[in-house]
Amino acid sequence: MEETISKNFIEQIIEKDIEEGRYQKIVTRFPPEPNGYLHIGHAKSILLNYGLAEEYGGEFHFRFDDTNPAKEEKEYVQSIKADVEWLGADYKGHIYFASNYFDKMYECAEFLIKKGKAYVCDLTPDEIREYRGTLTEPGKNSPYRDRTPEENLQLFRDMRDGKFPDGSKVLRAKIDMTSGNMNMRDPILYRIARMEHHNTGNKWCIYPMYDFAHPLEDAFEGITHSICTLEFEDHRPLYEWVVNECEFENPPKQIEFAKLYLTNVVTGKRYIKKLVEDGIVDGWDDPRLVSLSALRRRGYTPEAIRKFMELVGVAKSHSSVDNAMLEYCIRDDLKLKRPRMAAILDPVKLVITNYPDEQIEYVDVPNNQENEEMGTRQVPFCKELYIEREDFKIERPKKYRRLYVGNEVRLMNAYFVTCTGYDADEDGNVTTVYCTYDPASRGGNSPDGRKVRGTIHWVAVPTAKQVEVRLYENIVDEEKGVYNEEDGSMNINPNSLTVIENAYVEPALSDFKPGDSFQFMRTGYFCIDTKDTTEDHMVFNRIVSLKSSYKPN
């Protein structure tokens, strides 16, 4: 049988380029601006670029696009680096800072000036805008457009040497003021701005614009395929102009793909920042967010994120992916890998009246019923247990198979028990459930072929560990959607966090460390919070519930 794996459009371009000998080896890059934390959308770009380099035996470059001194912060450099490494995008030493290329960029600008392809312009920002024209009207030439290369060179050097005030002059590309593409109407290449840069300090008072800097960074590093998101499509002619006029051999080519959007999920930096500043979430790594640090803290694995990106694929037009698909991926990743443990989130006490008072016995429990290789563990069992409140009912609802007076159920991996009665307080809240057990059903096996229809989980009271559990829901009100149409604010779900202070877990959970994850039987996947867990207070984050609304084809 012939296997056909369909290649995405970027792979097709790359394969053609290799076939035609345009590039010997492909080089891709991820170029974040260090002005915020990375989110799930960036992970798409990272894994796409890294994956292509791996697939074609090329190189993957990790470059901080730090040419704009106004916006960058060192703190972000650290977090971005940690996220890229966590995702497993091994850049093999190819880590770069665009600001290290300022000298070379300056040389390129002089090169263009000498070629008559760039000029110093004295128009004010307002005049430049006015001269630029509109989408329907052509622009007109700046009166400074015909300065000679010699004059331009002198003026540009004077700009560099700090002889002019901020904003008084710019260097512009000499392209075409009548171009149908506004980006080609003599775009600005350099501006004067006395700002300190985190890397170069006060060495420069002129800084390159993004549309000039970015293609040069790519070209200097020998990038072959510069993959960016769709909003740069209109900038591609300028990208090509820059690398061609600067006369790079084998210049890189820009390819655009659609950004990743998740339905009802906040990804925009601006909005996340607002949630953090308004105290609605507890920092950039709040587990309800989709920054990579938040997903990591929530218990997502790099494998799940990679799987998700494979399912999403690469497209040329915008669409929004259902969040349930991301949840499916983490469930699928943890299912066979992580142990299944007992935790009682809403406890009620169960007393086995015919069980010896002081006795503790150990029952054998599989670590993962679906993966025998994970072995078994010994779990203490005794007369008093915690069970989930919803596993006992005073009045039996239709089809209910768990505990009610007179019914027999299986305590998972332990014994059959029959409910004999209960205590309740004045408000009718059940405080204790009473049962008798059948010693012959040890291991939860029927001694005589009789069947029980319900199985519930439990935790022995004397050895149980009291912990905090945090249940998360979408921070966005899914009924209303992310943004409020009227004022652009966000529709916040007031119930996105539920804190349970008195959950009980089996003692084996003490052996795990922050960041470890597992299934809590019957309730979902959880991980130990890395930020708020202390020696004597364990905090668990719900990664995802067990049920899914998404099915892969």
CB of 9 to Mg ion, least distance (A): 23
Q: Measured from the CB atom, is 133 or 268 closer to Mg ion?
A: 268
Is residue 438 a contact point for ligand ATP (CB under 6 A)? no
Q: How far is CA 477 from CA 268, 473, 493, 495, in A?
A: 17, 9, 4, 9
What x-and-dash track marks residues 43-82 binding ligand ATP by CB under 6 A? -xx-------------------------------------
CB of 445 to ligand ATP, least distance (A): 52
Quick one: which segment of 240-248, 261-269, 311-319, 370-378 binds ligand ATP (CB under 6 A)?
261-269
Is residue 41 a contact point for ligand ATP (CB under 6 A)? yes
d(CA 337, CA 332): 9
Q: Measured from the CB atom, is 99 or 523 closer to ligand ATP?
A: 99
Kindly calculate the radius of gyration of the chain based on its CA atoms and give it in whole angstroms.
31
Token pair for 1: 């049988």
Is residue 290 a contact point for ligand ATP (CB under 6 A)? no
Size of the site for ligand ATP (CB under 6 A): 15
Q: Measured from the CB atom, is 42 or 402 closer to ligand ATP?
A: 42
Q: Measured from the CB atom, is 209 or 509 closer to ligand ATP?
A: 209
Query: E strands, 44-117, where?
Result: 59-64, 95-97
Is residue 291 a contact point for ligand ATP (CB under 6 A)? no
Q: Which does 43 bind (CB under 5 to 8 A by kind): Mg ion, ligand ATP, none?
A: none
Determine phi and psi for 344, rounding to 5 degrees: -115, 115
Distance of CA 216 to the CA centre of its chain: 29
Q: Measured from the CB atom, is 228 or 294 closer to ligand ATP?
A: 228
d(CA 16, CA 527): 45
Quick one: which segment of 20-28, 259-267, 397-405, 464-472 binds ligand ATP (CB under 6 A)?
259-267
Assess contact for 43 and 300: CB atoms under 8 A.
no
CB of 274 to ligand ATP, least distance (A): 13
Assess contact for 489 and 482: CB atoms under 8 A.
no
Contacting residues for 299 by C-beta, under 8 A, at least 6 apart: 287, 330, 515, 517, 525, 526, 527, 541, 543
Site residues for ligand ATP, window 213-242 (CB under 6 A)? 228-229
Assess contact for 528 and 520: CB atoms under 8 A.
no
Is the alpha carbon torsion for 472, 478, 482, 484 positive or negative? Answer: negative
Q: Which of 28, 36, 99, 139 binds ligand ATP (CB under 6 A)?
A: 36
Q: Measured from the CB atom, is 34 or 251 closer to Mg ion?
A: 34
Q: Which does 269 bind (CB under 5 to 8 A by kind): Mg ion, ligand ATP, none?
A: ligand ATP
Specify burial of residue 312 (Cβ count, 10 A radius: 0-12, 13-18, 19+): middle
Q: Which residues bind Mg ion (CB under 5 A)?
A: 33
Q: Whose CA is closest to 356, among 444, 273, 293, 439?
A: 439
Q: Which does 225 bind (CB under 5 to 8 A by kind): Mg ion, ligand ATP, none?
A: none
Q: How far is CA 143 from CA 146, 184, 210, 416, in A?
A: 7, 18, 25, 93
CB of 128 to ligand ATP, least distance (A): 24
d(CA 237, CA 257): 16
Q: Measured from the CB atom, is 39 or 132 closer to ligand ATP?
A: 39
Q: Which does 268 bind (CB under 5 to 8 A by kind): Mg ion, ligand ATP, none?
A: ligand ATP
d(CA 76, CA 37): 6
Distance of CA 78 to the CA centre of its chain: 16
Is residue 260 a contact point for ligand ATP (CB under 6 A)? yes
- Sites of contact with ligand ATP (CB under 6 A): 31-33, 36, 41-42, 44-45, 228-229, 259-260, 267-269
